[in-house]
C-alpha cells in the first residue's frame, strides 16, 4: 500500500486536485493525511472550489473576513462551522460539512405569523442564544398559523431536505399538546402533510411538570400519550414529536422534500391548528430550519 501511495504521489498536483475535487470534503480532509503530495493537492483552491456552491447568496457585512481573501478551504470550513447571516439579517445559512449542501434558517421575522403583530396574541422578545436578534413569543391564541417559504434556487440541486420548526417552551406554556398541529411542506403541485405536536414528556419534565403516568411512560416508551385535565389520552403512532438540540432549543420536523435540479419556484412550509376554542400560549419561535435530510 505504501508503494502504491508513493506512486500516486508522483502524479502532478493538478491531477491529484482534480481527482480529489470529485470526492467529498470529508474525503479530501482524509487524503491530506496520506502524504505531503496529497496534502498539497487536498488543500488547494482548485479542489475546494468544487466543494463550495457556485451561487452563494449575499452575506451581511462582517460575516466573513474581507482582506486578505480566505483560501477556498478556509472559506468552506468557516461556512460549515456555523450559520452566517444573509444581507437582510432575517435568514442565516451554512454548509453541511460532509457534503457542502446549502442549509438555511428562516427567522421568526421572516415568517408569516397570524396575529404576529398584535401584542395581546404574540410579542417579540430578544434572543441571546441565536444568530437572530429576536424571536416570537406566543401570548394567547386560538387560531395558530405560521407559514414560511424559500425559493428553490437558493437550495442545492438534487437534494433531499427536511424542514424543522425551532422553538422553546416557557414556564407558562399551555394548550400545545391538544389538538395536535398539522404541518405541511409544498413544492409545486406536491403538498405533503403530517400531524405533529409541540409537547412530549421531555418538554413537560423540562418545565417542571411530571405527568401522572410518568412510570408507565418509562416502562412503555412507545405508547405516546398526553395529559389533559389530568387524564392520559393516546396521541397516536403517527404524530411527530420534538427533539432536543445540542444548542438547547427544540426542533419539530415539519416534513421533507426533494429539490430536483432545474426547479424554479418556491418551497412553502406551514404549521397550524385552527379548531375553534383551543387556546395556546408559551411557545417561543426562533424560526424554520431547512437542512439536508440525513438517514437515521
Domain ranges of the chain: 1-51, 102-292
In tens, the pLDDT along 148-173 reads 999 999 999 999 999 999 999 999 99
d(CA 270, CA 19): 42
Cα atoms in the 13 Å half-sphere on the side-chain side of 222: 1
Average pLDDT, the chain: 83
**DSSP H/E element including 126:** strand 122-126
> Do 97 and 73 touch, CB atoms closer than 8 A?
no
In tens, the pLDDT along 179-189 reads 899 999 999 88
Q: How confident is the model at residue 18 (pLDDT cuts 50, 70, 90)?
A: confident
pLDDT top residue among 204 and 195: 195
> 102-292 — its CATH code?
2.60.120.260
Average pLDDT on 74-87 reads 95
> Percent of the chain beyond pLDDT 90?
58
Lowest mean pLDDT among 12-26, 118-132, 265-279: 12-26
Residue 108 CA: distances (Å) to CA of 147, 184, 261, 281, 291: 10, 17, 28, 16, 17
Above 80 in pLDDT, residue 178?
yes
Q: What pLDDT does residue 213 have?
A: 39
d(CA 224, CA 213): 11
d(CA 245, CA 166): 9
Above 70 in pLDDT, residue 192?
yes
Lowest mean pLDDT among 58-62, 64-68, 78-82, 222-226: 222-226
Q: Which three cell numbers stand for residue 272?
A: 397550524
166 CA to centre of own chain: 8
50 CA to centre of own chain: 24
Name the most confidently modeled range: 42-56, 149-163, 257-271: 149-163
Average pLDDT on 104-133 reads 97
Q: What pLDDT does residue 120 have?
A: 96
Q: Which three cell numbers stand for residue 200?
A: 412530549
Amino acid at each position: 500500500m505504501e508503494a502504491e501511495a508513493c506512486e500516486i504521489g508522483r502524479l502532478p498536483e493538478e491531477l491529484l486536485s482534480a481527482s480529489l475535487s470529485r470526492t467529498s470534503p470529508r474525503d479530501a480532509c482524509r487524503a491530506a493525511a496520506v502524504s505531503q503530495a496529497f496534502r498539497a493537492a487536498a488543500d488547494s483552491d482548485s479542489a475546494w472550489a468544487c466543494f463550495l456552491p457556485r451561487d452563494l447568496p449575499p452575506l451581511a457585512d462582517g460575516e466573513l473576513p474581507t482582506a486578505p481573501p480566505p483560501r477556498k478551504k478556509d472559506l468552506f470550513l468557516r461556512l460549515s462551522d456555523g450559520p452566517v447571516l444573509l444581507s437582510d439579517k432575517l435568514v442565516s445559512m451554512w454548509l453541511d460539512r460532509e457534503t457542502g449542501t446549502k442549509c438555511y434558517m428562516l427567522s421568526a421575522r421572516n415568517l408569516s405569523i397570524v396575529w404576529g403583530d398584535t401584542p395581546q396574541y404574540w410579542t417579540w422578545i430578544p434572543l441571546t442564544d441565536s444568530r437572530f436578534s429576536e424571536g416570537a413569543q406566543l401570548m394567547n391564541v386560538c387560531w395558530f398559523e405560521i407559514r414560511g417559504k424559500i425559493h428553490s434556487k437558493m437550495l442545492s440541486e438534487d437534494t433531499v431536505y427536511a424542514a424543522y420548526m425551532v422553538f422553546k417552551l416557557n414556564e407558562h406554556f399551555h394548550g400545545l399538546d391538544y389538538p395536535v398541529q398539522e404541518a405541511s411542506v409544498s413544492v409545486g403541485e406536491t403538498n405533503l402533510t403530517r400531524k405533529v405536536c409541540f409537547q412530549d414528556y421531555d418538554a413537560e419534565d423540562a418545565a417542571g411538570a411530571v405527568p401522572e403516568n410518568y412510570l408507565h411512560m418509562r416502562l412503555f416508551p412507545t405508547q405516546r400519550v398526553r395529559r389533559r385535565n389530568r387524564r392520559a389520552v393516546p396521541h397516536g403512532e403517527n404524530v411527530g414529536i420534538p427533539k432536543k438540540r445540542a444548542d438547547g432549543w427544540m426542533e419539530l420536523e415539519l416534513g421533507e422534500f426533494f429539490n430536483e435540479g432545474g426547479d424554479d419556484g418556491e418551497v412553502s412550509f406551514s404549521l397550524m391548528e385552527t379548531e375553534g376554542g383551543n387556546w395556546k400560549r408559551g411557545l417561543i419561535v426562533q424560526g424554520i430550519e431547512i437542512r439536508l435530510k440525513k438517514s437515521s
